[in-house]
Amino acid sequence: MAASGVAQVAGIAVIFATLVLCQGEEKKLECDVQTIWACYTGIADQYGVVPLTNTYDKNYYLENLCQERDDFPAEPRCKVSYPSCSEDEKKKFTAMERGYTALREATSDSQECKSVALLRDCMDLEVIAKCDAHPENVKQTFEGSVEANKKGTENLKACLKDAVKPCAGKQYAQSIAHLDKIATAIVDLHTFSDGRNSASRTNAAMAAIAAVSLSWLARSLY
């Protein structure tokens, strides 16, 4: 095979590898994971973090925690952006979907949810007031926001656990357990599995394999 033929095959290898990488990049841009992430975390903040951290007036603490079912639809509005995402990309939101369902059920306008508000009579709200539920995004990146927000919800869950310690007695046991469910749901709503790096490595690996395979073919024909 002439040297020009080898060059042509090698060129095809480079073009094919580039196409593989470009397809990966295009797919990544189609699915707006940042907007979906912001949607889920916004719901967690609105229905969970804000009511749990607002200690301005102890007499009304947790007063707005419970919601009507109609105000909290069974299907999260965040899924509106799902059609442009691949199945692998949708898996990044598995924990957030679980957290959404759990928070909706736990904060429904039920007697169980309303009983949580009674904890304000014995909770140490100073612990909540001093809780670092909103850590700074030091990295100033999307990844930094993901890390900081999740850390904040984990801090809040730990603070709530400390704050209810004065609420001893069986009469508060069910309310404390329900509060823990709510806190866990909020953490899940901030749990985002970003497979971006692994996906990039997969695309790069596919491109490399394609280039090597075609180059090997060129050498074998030469």
Tell me the C-alpha to C-alpha distance, in Å, between residue 66 and each of 50, 63, 202: 12, 7, 44
| CB-based contacts of 185, cutoff 8 Å, min separation 6 | 44, 48, 99, 100, 102, 103, 106
Q: Which pTM does this prediction carry?
A: 0.73
Q: Return the pLDDT at 199.
A: 40
Burial 12-24 (b: 16+ CB within 10 A, else e): bbeebbeebbeeb
pLDDT bin (cut points 50, 70, 90) of residue 169 is confident
User: Which CB contacts under 8 angstroms, 24+ apart, belong to 134-143?
Assistant: 142/34, 143/194
What are the residue ranges spanned by the domains of the chain? 33-208
pLDDT bin (cut points 50, 70, 90) of residue 39 is very high
Is 214 within 8 Å of 13 (Cβ atoms)? yes
| CB-based contacts of 51, cutoff 8 Å, min separation 6 | 62, 63, 64, 65
Q: Is the pLDDT of residue 140 over 80?
A: yes
Q: Express each pLDDT in 91-119 by its tens digit.
A: 999 999 999 999 999 998 788 898 999 99
Give the integer Cα–Cα distance in Å for 129 and 149: 17
Q: Is the pLDDT of residue 5 over 50?
A: no
Q: Return the pLDDT at 103.
A: 95
Q: Is the pLDDT of residue 64 over 60?
A: yes
